[in-house]
A and B are shown apart, each in its own frame.
Chain A
Amino acid sequence: MSAPPTADIEHERSGAVDLLPRGALVVLFVLVQIVAFSAAYLASIPTAYAVFVVVSVAATAYAANEGVFGILTAIFGSVLLIAIGLPLALFVARQNPSLIMEQAADPGVHKMLYFSVYGPLLAAIGSLVFGVPLALLLARGFPGQSVVSSLVDLPLVVPHSAAGILILFGFGEGGAFPQLSILGTVVGAVLAMIFVSAPYAVNSAREAFESIDDRTEYASRIHGANRAETFRRITGPLALRGILTGGVLAWARSVSEFGAVAIVAYSVRFFYPPEGSVVIGQHAPIAIRSAYLTGGLEESGAVTFLLLVLSTAVFLLIRWLAYDSSGPSGGLP
């Protein structure tokens, strides 16, 4: 009745790599990569490391008895990893620590980093608060659903500078809510971020809701829970992981947003708690571009490094909070 244990299947296929436990193998592989990268970098031949990655991945696949198809899959997959990972590795390796320390001590950079976490956080919360109910409706289905669904996905295909223009037309001077000041304000920047990031929150939550069998909710209803209670006790907890994933994606998308924010709030006035006053700063992607134009690759690299460290830390924190504190089947107790 139960599926055969996966370990047995893996055991049959494993070759030379089976001599070591899986965890040790991963650590060994990573160590070899670090040593190879360091050697290639110090010898000023980073191209050699790119070749080494492909060869080492193919050799590992061969040692694991993955067959010709498995080796080819690993080789093609590793090429993409080089395209993503090598710039990152070279970027980190080529940073000037003293320049990073200098930037890390700059109050202007602090303001930029503060806003680049805080603004996207507001956008992610806004996307979830209004996006989750919409996702629930879309998952349930209604007449005209395809039109609404297309509207939600529209920001994914609109160039983001155009999205900024749309927001100015919609909510700027002469638009709706004239009492709302959006040009150069937190509201404007967050609106721009919501515009581009909400589809991620809605679609992720929608997929989570769609994956819940109707009958699980029927079971809740027939045993006494009304719709709201069913959402609180069953649908919400079961979809929580998808909802949080949507929130993380919306946050990450907002952090990286340049086009729409540059149009609506190139420089933004926001309350900065360490100074207890309203200050003027820039969203990180805009600040990085400014640093690149004025200070060149080195200075913009140091700012980028700080942003990467901070984003990664926040991302890991949210993942840890969202996934490691959940119950055995992914929901809350």
Chain B
Amino acid sequence: MTLSVDIAATFTAPGAAQFEVEGTFDVEDGETVAILGPSGSGKTLLLETVAGFHSHSGRVALDGQDLTGREPEHRDFGFVFQDYALFPHMTVAENVRYGGKYYEETGDVNALVERLGIADLLERYPPTLSGGEKQRVALARSLYVTPDVLLLDEPLSSLDVPTRERLRSDMLDILEDVTSVYVTHDRTTGRMLADRVLVVDDGEIVQRGTPTDIFERPASPFVAEFTGSNCLSLSEPRLREAIGVKNGAEWLAIRPEHVRLDNGTADVEARVKRVVRVDSMYRVSLSVGSERIEMHTTEPPEPDSSVGISFEESGRTLL
């Protein structure tokens, strides 16, 4: 099933300015597309509009069939919500089977609950479950109706870190063959799960591509910063000279992993501001003039020392 979206919608909240959301994108059969953007960028509204929860102009189609005028219950989508949206007065089993009444074809509930690790929770009520368990139930509820497209709105962001990491790795298997749109503000999740990524800012898509495209070749300082690259102003003369800018580029985007400590043929000298241990490596904050540079290394320099650094040629993006 291929989902085609070309929509625009306007939202008004009491006491707030109008907010417009628009998006044009396709999701190929079996593909996972991540909509990546900061809080308040409109990515959830975009997903909810695709689901049919809000009126919109434009078109939503599935394999060429127009779904635009259809109510959410006639779109054959699944939806997993950030805060689970389980039915608190129904048991886990009743939650999972909720949509069974309305669909001719449903999944094998026993296999599904086994696969998601919730088989021993079936008689429990949602308020007695942990966050991770709730989200597994919500996933089961959506997968049970074998939707044509699965829409996921930040399903991991309400979970604590270990639970999130466990479920994220399970998601890799769950989403493998499912046509899905995955909204997240977490770049790690977006990069890990998506076949393609759409970056959203202020209600519109500002860059689209494979995760490598987006993360290695950001199209704007916003995308660079949001995806975790250093975004360095080339108004700093030492940086400009170091990388030999000839055109009118104003910014250098480079990921922390493409910055190297280099005492031989360094591009530029930097001052070590801070060294923080993160898991098995060190995150080093450096400064060149007024510009801050982040890098990762296993051999940390001394704080307040001067070090030579170089920017890997292949990792540089001039903006």
> Which residues does A use to contact B, with CB under 8 Å?
1, 213, 215-216, 218-227, 229, 233-234, 237-238, 327-333
On whether the beta carbons of B101 and A224 are closer than 8 Å, the reply is: yes
CB-contact partner of B127 in A215, A224, A328, under 8 A: A328
Would A329 and B78 count as touching, CB distance under 8 A? no
B51 CB contacts on chain A under 8 angstroms: 218, 222
B282 within 8 A of partner (CB) = no
Structural contact, B53 and A223, CB atoms closer than 8 A:
no
Contact B88 A219 (CB under 8 A): no
CA distance A331 to B87 in the complex (A): 10
**B18 to nearest A CB, angstroms?**
16
Instruction: Give the CA-CA distance A215 to B127 in the complex, in Å.
Output: 16
B296 at interface, CB cutoff 8 A: no
Residues of B within 8 A of A (CB): 48, 51-53, 71-73, 75, 77-79, 81, 83, 85-89, 98-99, 101-103, 125-127, 130-131, 138, 141-142, 145, 151, 160
* Cα-based distance from A330 to B126 in the complex (angstroms): 13
User: Can you give 20 contacting A-B residue pairs, CB < 8 Å?
Assistant: A1-B131, A213-B85, A218-B51, A218-B53, A218-B72, A218-B79, A219-B141, A221-B71, A222-B78, A222-B79, A223-B79, A223-B141, A224-B98, A225-B73, A225-B99, A225-B101, A225-B102, A229-B102, A329-B89, A329-B125
Q: Which A residues touch B71, using CB under 8 A? A: 221, 226-227
With the chains together, A225 CA to B48 CA distance in Å? 17
Given contacts A215-B81, A218-B79, contact A238 B89 (CB under 8 A): yes
Q: How far is the CB of B167 from the nearest CB of chain A, in Å?
A: 14
From B73, B78, B81, B102, residue with most partner A Cβ within 10 Å: B73
Q: How far is the CA of A229 from the CA of B130 in the complex (A)?
A: 28
A224 to B74, CA, bound (A): 7
> Chain B nearest CB: distance from A170 CB in Å?
33
Q: Given A215-B81, A216-B85, are A223 and B98 also a contact pair (CB < 8 Å)?
A: yes
Instruction: Give CA–CA (A332, B73) in the complex, Å.
Output: 24
Residues of chain B lying within 8 A (CB to CB) of residue A220: 87, 98
**Given contact pairs A219-B85, A223-B142, a sample of 17 additional A-B residue pairs in the complex whose CB atoms are under 8 Å apart:** A218-B79, A219-B79, A223-B99, A223-B141, A224-B103, A225-B73, A225-B99, A226-B71, A233-B87, A238-B89, A329-B89, A329-B125, A329-B127, A330-B89, A331-B88, A332-B89, A333-B89
Check A218/B48 contact, CB under 8 A, given A224-B99, A238-B88.
Answer: yes
Separation of A216 and B53 alpha carbons in the complex (Å): 12
B73 touches A222 (CB 8 A): yes
Which residue of A216, A222, A330, A333 contacts B72 across the interface (Cβ within 8 Å)?
A222
Chain B neighbourhood of A332, CB < 8 A: 89
In the bound complex, CA of A331 to CA of B103 (Å): 25
Residues of A within 8 A of B77 (CB): 222
Residues of the A chain whose Cβ atoms lie less than 8 Å from the Cβ of B89: 237-238, 327-333
Using Cβ atoms and an 8 Å threshold, which residues of chain B touch A327?
Answer: 89, 125
A219 touches B81 (CB 8 A): yes
Q: A218-B81, A221-B53 are in contact. Are A226 and B87 (CB under 8 A)?
A: no
Q: Which residue of B lies closest to A237 (CB)?
A: B89
Closest chain A residue to B79 by CB distance? A222
Closest to A218 in B: B53
Cβ-closest chain B residue relative to A217: B85
Nearest Cβ on chain A to B50's Cβ, whole angstroms: 11
Contact A224 B73 (CB under 8 A): yes
Chain A neighbourhood of B160, CB < 8 A: 1
Top 5 closest A-B pairs, CB basis?
Answer: A224-B102, A331-B89, A223-B99, A219-B85, A215-B85
Query: CA–CA, A227 to B71, complex, Å?
Result: 10
Q: In the bound complex, do residue A221 and residue B127 qualify as a contact, i.e. CB atoms below 8 Å apart?
A: no
A143 to B131, CA, bound (A): 38
* Chain B CB within 10 Å, residue with most, of A219, A222, A226, A238: A222
Chain B residues, CB < 8 A from A233? 87, 98
Residue in chain B with minimal CB distance to A223? B99
CB distance from B175 to the nearest CB of A (A): 17
- Bound complex: CA A213 to CA B130 (Å): 19
Question: Are the CB atoms of B85 and A223 closer together than 8 Å?
Answer: no
CA separation between A46 and B151, bound complex, in Å?
69
Give the docked Cα–Cα distance between A329 and B88 (Å): 6
In Å, the complex CA distance between A195 and B51 comes to 42
| Chain B residue nearest to A227 in the complex (CB) | B71
Question: Which residues does chain A contribute within 8 Å of B142, judged by CB atoms?
Answer: 223
Contact A222/B75 with A1-B131, A328-B125, A329-B127 known, Cβ cut-off 8 Å: yes
For B124, the closest partner residue in chain A by CB is A328
Q: How far is the CA of A249 from the CA of B103 in the complex (A)?
A: 41
Interface centre among B102, B125, B131 (most CB of A within 10 A): B102
- In the complex where A226-B73, A329-B125 touch, is A218 in contact with B85 (Cβ < 8 A)? yes
Q: Which residues of B contact A329 (CB under 8 A)?
A: 88-89, 125-127
Q: Name B127's closest neighbour in chain A (CB-CB).
A: A329
Which residues of chain A are near B138, meaning CB under 8 Å? Answer: 219
